[in-house]
Chains A and B, each alone.
Chain A
Amino acid sequence: MATRALPDVAASCETVLVVPGMHCAGCMGKVERALQAVPQVVSARVNLSARQVRVAHDAAVTTPQLVDALSAVGFPSQPRGDDMAPPPSAVKPLLAPVAVAAFACMNVMLLSVGIWSGADGATRELFHWLSALIGVPAIVYSGMPFFRSAWSVLRRGRTNMDVPISIGVTLATTLSFYETLTNGHDAWFDGTLMLLLFLLAGRALDAMMRDRARAGVDALLRQAAPGAMVVGKDGALEWLAARDLLPGMLIRVAAGERLAADGEVVAGESRFDQSLLTGESLPVFVAQGGAVHAGTLNLDAPVDVRVTAAGQDTSLAEIARLMDAAGQARSAYVRIADRASRFYAPAVHLTALLTFAGWMIHGAGLHQSLVVAIAVLIITCPCALGLAVPVAQVVASGALMRKGIMVKDGSALERMSRIDRALLDKTGTLTMGKPTPDAAVIAALPADAAAVALALASHSRHPISRALAEALAARGVRAAPLADVVEEAGQGVRALWQGRAVALRRPEAATGVATTLDIAGMATWLIPFADRLRPDAETALARMAGMGIACSILSGDNDRAVAEMARATGLEARAAASPLEKQAAIAQQQAQGRRVLMAGDGLNDGPALAAADASIAPGTASDVGRQAADFVFLGDSLAALPRAVAASRATMAVVKQNFVMAIGYNVLAVPLAIAGYVTPLLAAVAMSTSSLIVIANSLRLVRAAR
């Protein structure tokens, strides 16, 4: 840790900042050093997994000072709100049981090796006692996650994989303890502990995957804390979170800012991009007195808005209500491991019971019948089955994550693998969702003009300027030095370049979105902007079709814009669909027996994303979209869609192979167990071999995300 202990500074305050842009050691170093350079900061420590930095500082330092220090080195950050504290990790409660099971398993196994190689009489008795001393407390402690889960489903009259595990573990431990007490021949502490160790490892992997994906998605969600600058009666400005806004408040919305509440424009006029809310791609002009909605983006000029509805009353909240009702198809889905255990658990118990009855009928004593029956239980305990699903899913989601696709949980992979129909939103999903300048015009700009345009554009936070600056910078253009730069809201940017007046301004007359570049003494350039298809869209859609998935467009945008995109992609399309209609379109497909994938980004896609069998959203999507989607892909390329489907299908194929192997091992081992030939040694060997085979098979998924 890099800490400065200055005697005159007391760490009386602690601030946690969310820094979504940190990725590597270099970033960590920069962030920590930048914060420590602020006087009166005592220490700064980055948590890279949570993308946060914890700063201990003197009360004299304010949060904006810290945020400024970070933005000076290129890291946008925000103070963490109370409700944004990371949710408790699912892995951590499992780490201690795994450690205890591993410790006990290794030690008991060591003692067991002595017994297997022929320790006899008093030595064996001593070894059994030692095993029991280590094993019984360890089993009670590390078996708790299973006992608890089994008890909670049994109470509700249902069963899951944990029920046979708990019964098997409890019986085996009791019998082994009895054997130890009566100086018997075999004790099964080693096998029982190994079983617990493997199962806990599988469970920890499953939890790890969910944690990792959630950390990624949370980092994205924390980026956009919705709120607004409220203008007080005395003219004072104060930033309030969206949930604290009340009707009647006056909020000032800067150009390039998203509205946090519904309202009415009371001063100024501007154009608003409603694409996130309705899918409509053309900006809407709103003058004084016009109504504006939460979630829309102010494009041109700052406006003052009187809040008419906030929180639960906004059009946003209406969408949230629709989404709550929509998730039924998904919650009805039963994960493959649970489906398997529905058949497996009764089969195992029946086999053990029949074995016990058979040996009793054949005249064996109660004790011997019980020993054989418990050997059957231990052999059939779903050790490899417990690993079959999580290991495959963890490996596959790791592979997808390296390709920039985050998977929310294992059931998402299972549902995604069964998709045979895909509905895609247009604005922001099929397209980039933001205006990009016409590539032909940009390429035709002379070098000086391009340099001036970049310099002008970089002085404005207007979305159009930023898109232009991005496009020019990507072409390797260097900004020209300017003097006297003035930005006029709603009009453009003016400056002097080598003594000549230059301007980037709103065109006098243009259809659609465009900007005009004026350079005194040179021709005027009109740069049109349009929303473009994502790169690789055509190859991605072709690959989807090749996988037997019929794709079509389901958009809230107007007919003309959608028809244009339908022509470009050759897909069937439906335009002007409301959020409710999108949801209905999915229900209709599901009623026809199709399993539907919804790809969308906007608020208007939220209910559809929640209703579909599986859903995917780009990382640039609205909070609602990212929260509702099973998969979130970063980057611009639409290739993420077929990649996610292909990887999910490969994962399910491997899971099924794993099941076949795990059950195949049972087919071989169970007759031996029923016949009473299984010893603790044989059980230990069989169990570890089958688990290793399942793990090795799952590792093939490392290259699944291609």
Chain B
Amino acid sequence: MTGLALLIPLALMMGFFGLIGFFWALRSGQFEDLDGAANRILIEDEAEEEA
């Protein structure tokens, strides 16, 4: 049973981090353009000059 004392907070903490991650993604506008994000991986980069 002592395992629970460690595992339950650990599990909750991990879930909570996931939730915080989602909120961060929401705030930083990553859900603004879902169609664009889906298509962006198909853009060919050969003409791109990255500084």
Contacts and interface: CB of A to CB of B under 8 A. Distances in A.
Interface string A31-48: 011000000000000111
B33 A2 contact: no
Contacts of A111: 8
Interface in A70-120: 92, 95-96, 99-100, 103, 106-107, 110-111
Contact of A48 (B31, B36, B45, B50): B36
B10 interface: no
Contacts, number: 68
Contact of A5 (B11, B26, B44, B51): B51
Nearest to B44: A29
A152 interface: no
B22 A24 contact: no
Interface residues of A, number: 30
Interface string B1-17: 10010001001100110
Contacts of A130: 8, 12
Contacts of A48: 33, 35-36, 39
A4 B43 contact: no
A282 interface: no
B23 A96 contact: yes
A50 interface: yes
Given A28-B43, A33-B47, A99 B12 contact: no
A325 interface: no
Nearest to A29: B43
Interface string B23-34: 100100001111
Given A25-B39, A48-B39, A107-B15, A99 B33 contact: no
B39 A103 contact: no
Contacts of A107: 11-12, 15
Given A4-B49, A6-B51, A123-B1, A28 B31 contact: no
B30 to A, nearest CB: 11
A134 interface: yes
A49 interface: yes
Contact of A49 (B8, B34, B49): B34
B40 A103 contact: no
A467 B42 CA distance: 35
A110 B42 CA distance: 39
Contact of A28 (B34, B36, B48): B36
A18 to B, nearest CB: 14
A47 B12 contact: no
A5 B49 CA distance: 10
A52 B34 CA distance: 13
Contacts of B4: 123
Interface string A1-23: 01111100000000000000000
Interface of B: 1, 4, 8, 11-12, 15-16, 18-19, 22-23, 26, 31-36, 39-45, 47-51
Given A47-B36, A49-B33, A134-B12, 17 more contacts: A2-B45, A6-B51, A25-B40, A26-B43, A28-B36, A33-B47, A48-B35, A92-B31, A95-B26, A99-B22, A99-B23, A99-B26, A103-B15, A103-B16, A103-B19, A107-B12, A110-B11
Interface of A: 2-6, 24-26, 28-29, 32-33, 46-50, 92, 95-96, 99-100, 103, 106-107, 110-111, 123, 130, 134
23 contacts: A4-B49, A5-B51, A6-B51, A25-B40, A25-B42, A25-B43, A26-B42, A28-B36, A29-B44, A32-B43, A33-B47, A48-B33, A49-B32, A49-B33, A49-B35, A96-B23, A99-B22, A99-B26, A103-B16, A106-B15, A107-B15, A111-B8, A134-B12
